[in-house]
Amino acid sequence: MDFLAEFEEKINQVNQSLQKYFMKNENYQMSIYDAMEYSLFSGGKRIRPVLCVACAELFGNAEDAMPFACAIEMIHTYSLIHDDLPCMDDDDLRRGKPTNHIIYGEAMAVLAGDALLNLAFETALQHSKATPAQTLEAVKIIAESAGTEGMIGGQVIDLESEGKDVDAVTLMAMHVHKTGALMMAPAKVGALIGGGTKEDILNMEKFARYLGVAFQIKDDILDVESTTEILGKPIGSDKLNEKTTFVTLYGMEQSRKMLEDYTQNAIATLEEYGDRAAFLKELSLFLLRRDR
């Protein structure tokens, strides 16, 4: 099977699992399920859950990784809803559609975000078929990656950096937390649940750290070079918000070079797994070349 077909199949499996885990109850509070569903099924690229499943597959059992893969996608989705709020980045458009608070109002968007973070833990705990000890370990990795020493920490650095001159070290710290943590989590959890050794888990973490930085550099390049139509959200928003990005700090040429280097470093981490890691290598190149 070629890469794109396999990628598509994995995305479908993730979407089907998300549908299965996301139960929409018909009750008093059903309006929140609409708000959650809107963002959870609004055309996300599903990079993180696919990464999780692919890393599990590299070492063995991919099926057991699915509840964790979907939990991580729920966390990613909640972070986007809260990031888009008027008091945060104040974005009206995401994935070509109005953002959550534009449709459902700010109060419901806050609650829908809270509910998706909560649902992530419910999903992992309720649907895991791994042993209790493994389940605990996986959920612990996810919780730490999503918290103040992970993704939320990155959002805080981002918030505090707006309108300020940001140096290279701070920029890297911001992205290793904000984007990297939620790429490392699925890679580590995938390796863990798939049955990888401690060394495998560390390798996958290293792979995803490189991939996460590359992903962010590409995002910064696209914010300058893409169009609102292709990207599904306003381009030039970094400039508008006076954000320091890889492009503002290093220039376009150097950013492209860094994107290439980080992607190659990610791929080099997979060398020892040979052809078994073909999908992950292709995924890294796909993310390098993407146009949105």
Binding footprint of its own copies on the chain (CB under 8 A): 25, 27-29, 31-33, 36, 78, 82, 85, 87-88, 105-108, 110-111, 113-115, 117-119, 121-122, 125-126, 131-133, 135-136, 139-140, 143-144, 146-149, 152-157, 159-160, 170, 173-174, 177
Q: What is the CA radius of gyration of the chain?
A: 18
12 vs 118, which CB is nearer to its own copies? 118
In terms of DSSP H, where are the helices of 22-178?
A: 30-40, 47-59, 66-84, 100-104, 106-127, 132-146, 151-161, 168-175
**Minimum distance between the CB of residue 81 and its own copies, rounded to whole angstroms?**
10
132 vs 274, which CB is nearer to its own copies? 132
Degrees (nearest 5) of the Cα angle 238, 244, 249? 120
105 vs 251, which CB is nearer to its own copies? 105
129 vs 257, which CB is nearer to its own copies? 129
**Hey, how many other C-beta atoms are within 10 angstroms of the C-beta on 108?**
19
**Minimum distance between the CB of residue 289 and its own copies, rounded to whole angstroms?**
32
Dihedral angle, C-alpha 91, 96, 100, 106, nearest 10 °? 30
**Minimum distance between the CB of residue 215 and its own copies, rounded to whole angstroms?**
20
List, as one string, the DSSP characters of 114-145. HHHHHHHHHHHHHH--S-HHHHHHHHHHHHHH
CA gap 7, 89 in Å, rounded: 31
**Minimum distance between the CB of residue 137 and its own copies, rounded to whole angstroms?**
9
1 vs 25, which CB is nearer to its own copies? 25
**Minimum distance between the CB of residue 199 and its own copies, rounded to whole angstroms?**
23
